[in-house]
Structure 1
Amino acid sequence: MTLVVPSRVVLASQSPARLATLRAAGISPEVVVSGVDESVIVSDDPVVVATELARMKARAVAHRLKDDEALVIGCDSVLAFEGEVLGKPSDPATAVERWQRMRGRSGVLHTGHCIRIGEREISEDAATTVFFADVSDAEIEAYVETGEPLQVAGAFTIDGLGGAFVERIEGDHHNVVGLSLPLVRSMLAGLGVRWTNLWAPA
């Protein structure tokens, strides 16, 4: 396969956690928010929801850029829990109720990934099982009052205030943050892009 060197790397997400993950891995992307309507994807399958939303974001930004050599990364995460597909909670009461159900139990965090260069595109889903601590009502209320759970899929983080409420995971830690670095490297290879060529100059 011919080696491809993108003109630039663009993250089609406003997530600070995804941006920080890429920067920590040596990649400094531009950020272009897709602005897509996430409510149009309705499915009981978390893989379908996460992957289709990632595709929508990547495609919307790629078409806006009009740069066939730009590498666009789109991601979206949802939590599969007790047969439901959970995104961001709509309000504090929903976040409290969700945590009261999740505590002491586990769910599967799915992150859809879509990478585009011109009209070439690869999409994949990554799944990580998350085991939640048996937190008290007081801890839940204090956590929700911070506002953090309202900003993230599943109403929790692993790299923020919610990290103390996640006892362990099975799978890729970065996927729970919102972007699986090993998966992205593999997907890039499928498009002829070498991961190390994307590292920003020291």
Structure 2
Amino acid sequence: MSTARPDATGPVVVLGSASPARRTTLERAGVDVHVVVSDVDEDAVVAHYGVTDAQDVALVLAKAKAEAVAALDDLPDGAIVLGCDSVLELDGEVHGKPGTAQEATARWRRMRGRSGVLHTGHWLVDVRDDVPAGATDAKGKPVRPGGTLGAVASATVHFANLSDAEIDAYVATGEPLQVAGAFTVDSLGGAYVSGIEGDYHTIVGVSLPLLRELLGELGVAWHDLWRRA
């Protein structure tokens, strides 16, 4: 059943990510998004900032993607750009998307029967030029155009103890090569995640509770984003 509000007056959310899971998560929550994929060189960004901590990596990548999209000239009127990036932390090491099937296989043989932490960075850039006069954020502070902020959501993932045959079959689908940490929880990989501690949406790639809080800092109420009928 649709939760659409015909009088919705919120900004346009521009998602700077090619992830279909992020787009689907937002749309199922009633938020229509305009997708504009950034061309950020992730390795170059991480090297530029010199970050090694998993949370820092997720955040600087999300920031870089949001800022790259926000700098474009053809964004919809009244836009707020959302950049996201996810990485898996395992044994203190940072893991993004596997580059090859061999890497994905090795990763899963290391992860199986164990736990890791999935960090998803979120960054917002407010490019609206029509912020209502007197608008305030969730704390009652004045809101001005051009605001930018971000944060990281983290959740612990418990992986099932897969056999070599299961790992080989999963890697052969190609799915692990396309996602951070070499797994999904909302698609083929869902059967291989035995438990989650934290927000499920963080694992999918965009934490709705955290996003609601960040938008509130920009003076945007979550319910104002629900799609128009």
- TM tier relative to shorter chain: over 0.9
2:87 aligned residue (78, 86, 99): 78
> Do structure 1's residue 87 and structure 2's residue 96 form an aligned pair?
yes
Contact 2:11 / 2:225 at 8 angstroms: preserved in 1? Answer: no
Give the Cα–Cα distance (whole angstroms) in 1 for the partners of residues 11 and 165 of structure 2.
50
For 1:65 and 1:96, the matched residues in 2 are separated by 42
Select 2:62's aligned residue among 33, 54, 63. 54
Query: C-alpha distance in 2, partners of 1:53/1:65?
Result: 21
The reply on whether 1:169 has 2:177 as its aligned counterpart is: no
Tell me if the contact between 1:8 and 1:71 (Cα under 8 Å) persists in the aligned partners.
yes
CA contact (8 A) 1:9 1:70 kept: yes
CA apart distance, 1:123: 0.6
Once the two structures are superposed, what CA deviation does each residue of 1:146-185 show, in whole Å capped at 9, x if it has no partner?
0000000000000010000000000000000000000000
Once the two structures are superposed, the pairs formed by residues 117-136 of structure 1 within 5 Å of their partners are 117-118=126-127, 119-136=146-163
Q: Look up the match of 1:25.
A: 29
Aligned length: 198
Which residue type is aligned with residue 21 of structure 2?
Answer: A
Q: What TM-score do the two structures reach when normalised by structure 2? A: 0.84
Name the residue aligned to 1:182: 209
* Ranges in structure 2 where 5+ consecutive residues have no aligned partner: 1-8, 128-145
**Per-residue Cα deviation, 1:128-151 (whole angstroms, up to 9, x for no partner):** 000000010000000000000000
- Select which of 110, 113, 118 maps to 1:104: 113
SS of 1:55's partner is helix
Partner of 2:134: none
Aligned to 1:34: 38
TM-score w.r.t. the length of structure 1 is 0.95
Return the alpha-carbon distance in structure 1 between the equivalents of residues 215 and 187 of structure 2. 28
Cα pair 2:10 2:224 within 8 Å, conserved? no
**Identical amino acids, percent of aligned pairs:** 56
Letter in 2 for 1:56: A
Q: 1:139 aligns with which of 153, 166, 178?
A: 166
Return the alpha-carbon distance in structure 2 between the equivalents of residues 159 and 179 of structure 1.
13
Cα distance in structure 2, aligned partners of 1:45 and 1:148: 26
One-letter code of the match for 1:124? A
Further displaced range: 5-14 or 107-116 = 5-14
Q: Structure 1, unaligned stretches of length 5 or more?
A: none
Per-residue deviation, 1:76? 0.1
